Amino acid sequence: MKLLDISDLRVTFRSPAGNVRALDSVDISLDAGDSCALVGESGSGKTVLGMAIMRLLPSNAIVEGMVHFGGLDLASLGDPEMRRIRCGEIGMIPQNSAMALNPVLPIGRQVTESLVLHLGISQKEAEVTVLTLLHRMGIPDTDHALKQYPHEFSGGMRERVLVAMVLACNPQLIIADEPTSGLDILVRHQMLGLLREQSRDKALLLITHDLGSAHVLCRRIAVMYAGEIVESGPTEKVLSMPMHPYTQGLLASIPSAGLHPIPGMSPSPGTFPAGCRFCDRCHSVFDRCRVEHPPLKTIDGIRLVRCHRYG
């Protein structure tokens, strides 16, 4: 049985301007110990996907489809059970470290909070566990660190504290939302090392637009565009031999590949064209692409592509 099984997930947002479909028919599955990267740009829907799994979307979001975790249908769970899952079973490392920590509470309190709430142990016992955890994270002077406040830490240290908070309850699945964006090179390097080490025996879902970190951390990769998955497969293969024109364009637009930009702009949710959503920007578009929306096809048994070029 798969640890995480998402099938036909669709997310629509209700807005005064009408309903907007942000995520369309997404299928993802992860075994325990597996790792998958969701790669895409703003508007691709990858953040929405992460939040849909955690059931953290705002109230105007309509979620359809199935999200199964460890055999449980997450949509059917009540709030208290979902909260327990959110901490103990699925851990989400949020995007913006500066805003994710409470500025008026010392670090020690924040990290032990989840342990105290979910395992029911006392503050003192939690602190002991946390001390070892922080030490593993490479945070120096851990006794003193427990009493310090977020603003006394550098950005890189705060990221580690966040990772510590998430790992404190030993979740089976880690969802990391843009863990390396905005980080300096050296800090990013340390963060990648940290994530790689801590996710060895857990399942990892990495949401990012940083292709490098996808390559370092994940065995599989799924490229998202305009709310759907357009290509997926083993990371090494997809990045060295991309099949979908968007993936090819993305790889060609990297500075060291020559900075060849993809013309045009990603369509925002609600303005997706009929037919293939990438047709306006594709360099090898057929007439068929503008009219018929391509389904996801399996190639060579392990790769999936959503493009008319492949049949």
| Residue ranges binding another protein (CB under 8 A) | 13, 22, 41-43, 47-48, 51, 155, 182, 184-189, 192, 196, 209, 211-213, 215-216, 236, 239-240, 249-251, 253-262, 265-266, 268-269
Question: For residues 138 and 155, which CB has a smaller minimum distance to another protein in the complex?
Answer: 155
> Residue 246's closest CA among 307, 181, 300?
307
Minimum CB–partner distance for residue 20 and another protein (Å): 10
As a whole number of angstroms, the distance between CA 245 and CA 170 comes to 39
Structural contact between residues 39 and 211, judged by C-beta atoms closer than 8 angstroms = yes
Minimum CB distance to another protein smaller for 114 or for 208: 208
Beta carbon of residue 111, minimum distance to another protein (angstroms, whole number) = 25
Exposed e or buried b per residue across 241-277, where buried means at least 16 C-beta atoms within 10 angstroms of its C-beta: ebbbbbbbbbbeeeeeeeeeebeeebbebeebeebbb
Shortest Cβ 145–another protein spacing (Å): 20
In terms of CB distance, is 182 or 295 closer to another protein? 182
Q: Give the C-alpha separation, 6 to 34, whole Å.
A: 15
CB of 7 vs another protein, minimal distance in Å: 22
- Number of neighbours of residue 19 by Cβ within 10 angstroms: 11
Taking the C-alpha atoms of residue 58 and residue 51, their distance in angstroms, rounded to an integer, is: 9
Classify strands 297-299 and 35-39 as parallel, antiparallel or unpaired.
unpaired
In the complex, what is the shortest distance from the CB of residue 162 to another protein, in angstroms, rounded to a whole number? 18
- Provide the minimum distance between the beta carbon of 22 and another protein in the complex, in angstroms, as a whole number: 7
In this structure, are residues 266 and 260 in contact, taking their beta carbons and an 8 Å threshold? no
Q: Where are the alpha helices (DSSP H) in 94-184?
A: 97-100, 107-119, 123-136, 142-147, 155-167
